[in-house]
Amino acid sequence: MTVNQVQTYPKGSILFAPGDAAKIVHVVLEGTVVASQGDKQIALGAGGILGDVSFFSDRPHTYHAICATNVTTLNITKSHGGRILSSQPRVALSLLTELAQKVQSDEMMFFQGLQEREETQSQSGFLPEGHPVHSERVPTEYGEYLFTVDVDCPICQTRFTGTRVRTTRLQLEVQKTDLRNVYRNFEPNFFYIWVCPKCLFAYPERQYTRLSQRAITKGREAWQENPPQEPFAFDVPRTIDQAISSYYLAMKSFETIGATLEQWANLWLRLVWIYEDLGEKELALTAAEKAKHYFSEAMSTTSRSASGDQALCLILGELALRLGDNAGAFNSFRAASTMSGGDPRYKRIASDRIADLRERRGS
């Protein structure tokens, strides 16, 4: 009977989140679960007990529990918990011991199954020389907006787990004038790139399995001629360092198989946003120069709809401002505001930015 209540969860699974009804007590048998409350994170291995206080007090959960590895737990529910505890006295004793020490506090705390958090796989070797390392992890709460899928690498055919964003759960807070969407409690740019752990083919998630046969052949030949010396893997939760490394791995893949100007431009623009959020001003400016170069090339050599051209003009204007080129910014905003057809919303944004520039010039 107890065996029937044992369940395995894949890496990245969320056992529960704050506000969820407490229907199960999870006793960790194998693997690692990370419990998170605010900035506090605790790793639990075999013997760890999660959700017990909320379960027995009939209150919603107050913290997140996410599987950092594949995890196996013994699940105790109200329908069969009594039978499990009566037939497994060691489990009952562990549960009582845990509850006795927790019951006096609402703070997230654990006494059994505690683990030292393993060192993160920094992957800093994939960053440019001298690049700062950001070993902090993305918030565990991001797991609420993510789900995993099995992916077959188009280059080496290795099957791995890819992470996708549940876009239906995202809540847009604001769209900035450079057309960046800012969401409440979530940053999607940390999950933009998928990376094969074996051949290190890195590419934007939405385009990962849509390569031409020519691109696949070029990528496969490059991998066979020069196989990587070390693997790549995202932790759960992943570190900022790992997320940024994935962008630089994507640049190598872009160079190998060939990428469009828009792909290069979008890659660098997302790095602009990441670096600005991290306060890395010099890196943000370097990324802005790269993004501006590729967007400018795309503007002059490829065709789009009128609204697509307007969007590029807005982005070019914002990048020019970051780089101190007010005249270039003005010309880009003017082109967006006077373009025939297109999106009226983009015209209003461009007109507002022109007014901002004139106001600055006047002051």
SS3 annotation, 29-40: EECCEEEEECCE
The single-letter DSSP state of residue 141 is: G
Q: Which amino acid is at 128?
A: P
Percentage of the chain beyond pLDDT 90 is 70
Question: 191 falls in which pLDDT band (50, 70, 90)?
Answer: very high
Distant-in-sequence, close-in-space partners of 9: CB < 8 Å, separation ≥ 6: 15, 67, 70, 71, 72, 73
DSSP run (H or E) holding 275: helix 261-278
Mean pLDDT over 272-289 rounds to 98
Res 303: pLDDT: 87
| Cα 203 to Cα 275: distance, rounded to the nearest angstrom | 20
Mean pLDDT over 58-81 rounds to 88
User: So where are the chain's domains?
Assistant: 3-102, 124-259, 303-363
The dihedral over CA atoms of 261, 191, 233, 14, expressed in degrees to the nearest 10, equals -160
Question: 80 falls in which pLDDT band (50, 70, 90)?
Answer: confident
| Cα 75 to Cα 80: distance, rounded to the nearest angstrom | 9
| Cα 261 to Cα 267: distance, rounded to the nearest angstrom | 10
Res 57: pLDDT: 83
| Cα 132 to Cα 66: distance, rounded to the nearest angstrom | 28
Beta carbons within 10 angstroms of residue 193's beta carbon? 23
| Cα 243 to Cα 351: distance, rounded to the nearest angstrom | 35
| Cα 261 to Cα 36: distance, rounded to the nearest angstrom | 40
Res 41: pLDDT: 87
Res 274: pLDDT: 98
Res 280: pLDDT: 97
Specify whether domain 3-102 bears CATH 2.60.120.10: yes
Res 124: pLDDT: 59
pLDDT at 113 over 80: no
pLDDT at 10 over 80: yes
Mean pLDDT over 28-43 rounds to 90
Question: 66 falls in which pLDDT band (50, 70, 90)?
Answer: very high
pTM of the model: 0.77
For 126, counting Cβ atoms within 10 Å of its Cβ (0-12 exposed, 13-18 middle, 19+ buried), the class is buried
What would the pLDDT profile of 212-244 be if each residue is shown by its tens digit? 999 999 999 999 999 998 889 999 899 999 999
Closest CA to 335 of 361, 315, 319, 321: 315
Mean pLDDT over 297-301 rounds to 93
Mean pLDDT over 273-287 rounds to 97
Mean pLDDT over 171-194 rounds to 96
Average pLDDT of the residues of the chain: 89
What are the structure tokens assigned to 211, written together?
Answer: 């390569």
Question: 40 falls in which pLDDT band (50, 70, 90)?
Answer: confident
pLDDT at 257 over 70: yes
Question: 189 falls in which pLDDT band (50, 70, 90)?
Answer: very high
Beta carbons within 10 angstroms of residue 149's beta carbon? 11
Beta strand pairing status for 33-37 and 40-44? antiparallel
Beta carbons within 10 angstroms of residue 112's beta carbon? 17
Mean pLDDT over 336-354 rounds to 94
What are the structure tokens assigned to 305, written together?
Answer: 């709809």
Cα-Cα end-to-end distance for the chain: 77
Res 1: pLDDT: 41
pLDDT at 278 over 50: yes
